[in-house]
Amino acid sequence: MNRELPKNTKAEEQTSKKQNSNKNNQISSASEPTISSPPLSSSAGDPPQINFIFHNNVCAVEVVQNGSSKFLTDSFDNKWTPLYFSMAESIAKIGTEAKSHFVTFPKHVIYDVLEVTGKPLNEIRINPKWGFKLIDKDGIVYFYIETFFGPRLLSQEIIFAVFLKTMKFQTESNLNLQINEIYLSTHFELNKSQKNIFVKAAAKNNIEILSFSII
């Protein structure tokens, strides 16, 4: 099965003030390379199998049913959602809206979450362009960001739980059914610690991850 995956671009290129915010936050399908990866098995009449994909700094929902695969799209026909999390407003925002906040409120926005997930602080390469900070508390790395209500420490599973909640809602709205089981794919092999973070984040949304795979 061929999947179109977005190219990895630098954060500073994605957030240039000279670009229109809509163009800045849109992921063009024309720039998405195609790679081959083994599909989930599905037969006619089987319920849909849901695959949540995390690739570099974006995520997407893939639905496999009746032997075919499709990506769900948002209201702007985008398949890929930027992995940006913002607390610049009174409620958390993710995706393109959160990414647009990075230009004016960089200390309120978290991104590059997969570069941090499940790693000890001394193994994380700190990007000087990050507006957020990383805090080690009893061996666990937290995100320290400014929020609408003041500074706050956020766990890694809380950040992923917000993304999973949105992806679950998108899936249920598109398919008109409730889901509590998913498959999860990343562009690199997850270690035990990283898998545990995703499992905890999924549990907060009443989701069970059936298996992990690499795309």
72 burial level (CB within 10 Å; 0-12, 13-18, 19+): middle
119 burial level (CB within 10 Å; 0-12, 13-18, 19+): middle
- Cβ neighbour number for residue 127 with a 10 Å cutoff: 14
pLDDT in tens, 33-49: 343 444 555 555 688 99
Q: Is the CATH number of domain 2-81+157-214 3.30.420.40?
A: yes
Report the pLDDT value the prediction gives residue 125, as an integer from 0 to 100.
Answer: 96
Bridge partners, residue 152, by sequence: 145
pTM: 0.83
Q: Give the residues of the chain that fall short of pLDDT 70.
A: 1-45
Structure-token pair, residue 124: 């994380």
